[in-house]
Structure 1
Amino acid sequence: MQKILRSFVLSVMLASMVSGSMAADIVAGKSRAGQCAACHGPDGHAVIPQTPNLAGQDEDYLAEQLKAFRSGERQNETMSVIAKPLNDTEIANLAAYFHSLK
């Protein structure tokens, strides 16, 4: 039992070190967010009715939604076109940036 517990603790520690070393870049996200501002506002607060505010949203949720638009799993004429060329790093950076806003 102790062996299993040690393995579990080691796995959690390793996973945390790996995810920490791959932290998203908020500055890069901000520089990539220019196109987003037209609808979602320069500060993440929507300027167009029916467009969601992105400021302060959960980072994982934002990344998940952008990936769903990119893959076609989620459909929206505008967002599908915008998300299509984004790679995973750009998505993570954008999600971190909008999450950081108040």
Structure 2
Amino acid sequence: MRAIGGVLALMLVSSTALAQGNSASGHSKSASCAACHGAKGQAVNAIYPNLAGQNEDYLALALRAYQKGERSGGQAGVMQAFTSSLSEQDISDLAAYYASLTPLK
């Protein structure tokens, strides 16, 4: 019975994580992110992660986790504040935008 519950939970997470984002909309929503993660997803300081080229589903899951207070450490409090007002579409759009950028080489 636990296995069935686990499978159902994974299906729910997977379907949520696969929401389609619009990278152009994400770009217009990324201004507040740029202060730490850079205008093109290249962090301005080594304490912040580069977002350019990251996996879209991972980014969306991470944003949701910050929003729900499920991530801790580092800048989790700051990220929770930034993500608190994001809609599901905002999250999908931001994830699509950063995933579409070329990562730092």
Which residue is equivalent to 2:42? 45
Larger Rg belongs to: 1
Structure 2 distance, partners of 1:94, 1:34, is 10
- Determine the structure 2 residue equivalent to 1:87: 87
Amino acid of the structure 2 residue aligned with 1:56: G
Counterpart-to-counterpart distance in 2, 1:43 and 1:86: 20
Following TM superposition, by how much is the alpha carbon of 1:48 offset from its aligned partner in structure 2, in angstroms? 1.6
TM-score normalised by L of structure 1: 0.76
Q: CA deviation at 1:49?
A: 2.1
Counterpart in the other structure of 1:8: none
CA offsets, 1:16-42, max 9 Å, x none? xxx7xx631111100000000000000
Q: What is the aligned partner in structure 2 of residue 33 from structure 1?
A: 30
Q: 2:66 aligns with which of 69, 72, 89?
A: 69
TM-score normalised by length of structure 2 = 0.74
Q: Which of 1 and 2 has higher RCO (CA within 8 Å, sep 6+)?
A: 2
Q: Runs of 5+ in structure 2 lacking a partner?
A: 1-17
Distance 2:65 2:92 in 1: 13
Report the Cα distance in structure 2 between the residues aligned to 1:56 and 1:49, rounded to whole angstroms: 17
Range with bigger deviation, 68-77 or 26-35: 68-77
Q: CA deviation at 1:98?
A: 0.1
Structure 1 residue corresponding to 2:20, chosen from 3, 19, 23: 23
Runs of 4 or more, structure 1, over 3 Å off, are none
In structure 2, what is the Cα distance between the partners aligned to 1:25 and 1:69?
Answer: 21
| Unpaired segments ≥5 residues, structure 1 | 1-18
